Amino acid sequence: AQKITQTQPGMFVQEKEAVTLDCTYDTSDPSYGLFWYKQPSSGEMIFLIYQGSYDQQNATEGRYSLNFQKARKSANLVISASQLGDSAMYFCAMRLYYGNNRLAFGKGNQVVVIP
């Protein structure tokens, strides 16, 4: 079974600065996808970015980018130019390509953006 680890304590970041959220995972399967979601205080889960295990380049999506290091089994999310609306919980998740389509989640990182 896949395991996702997010261990950073809550983070405070200054508005307009960048923040990196750590995510490590553990699987023996070489084929998988990694996802990041944002959960604001209202509770909905918002999809941010996806990285496939065979993708040659790091994924980017607007202000979000993924620092994917396959050998180290890490997929850190970088948020550039933080905005007050970025204050939320951020969850890393993984799905095995040839599994049962289940998405396994880490416990999340709390980010608070301060003006």
Partner 1 sequence: DGGITQSPKYLFRKEGQNVTLSCEQNLNHDAMYWYRQDPGQGLRLIYYSQIVNDFQKGDIAEGYSVSREKKESFPLTVTSAQKNPTAFYLCASSTDRDSRNSPLHFGNGTRLTVT
With beta carbons less than 8 A apart as the criterion, state whether 76 and 64 touch: no
Q: How far is the CB of 45 from partner 1 (least distance, A)?
A: 4
Quick one: 4 or 113, whose CB is closer to partner 1? Answer: 4
**Among 26, 11, 10, which residue's Cα sits nearest to residue 74?**
26
**Which residues make up the interface to partner 1 (CB under 8 A)?**
4, 6, 33, 35, 37, 42-47, 50, 52, 91, 95, 97, 100-108
Quick one: 100 or 115, whose CB is closer to partner 1? Answer: 100
Buried b (16+ CB within 10 A) or exposed e, 6-27: beeeeeebeeeeebebbbbbeb
Q: Determine the residue type at 84.
A: L
Q: How far is the CB of 27 from partner 1 (least distance, A)?
A: 15
Q: Determine the residue type at 61.
A: E
Quick one: 16 or 107, whose CB is closer to partner 1? Answer: 107
Quick one: 33 or 67, whose CB is closer to partner 1? Answer: 33
**Among 62, 60, 95, 65, which residue's Cα sits nearest to residue 77?**
65
Q: How far is the CB of 43 from partner 1 (least distance, A)?
A: 5
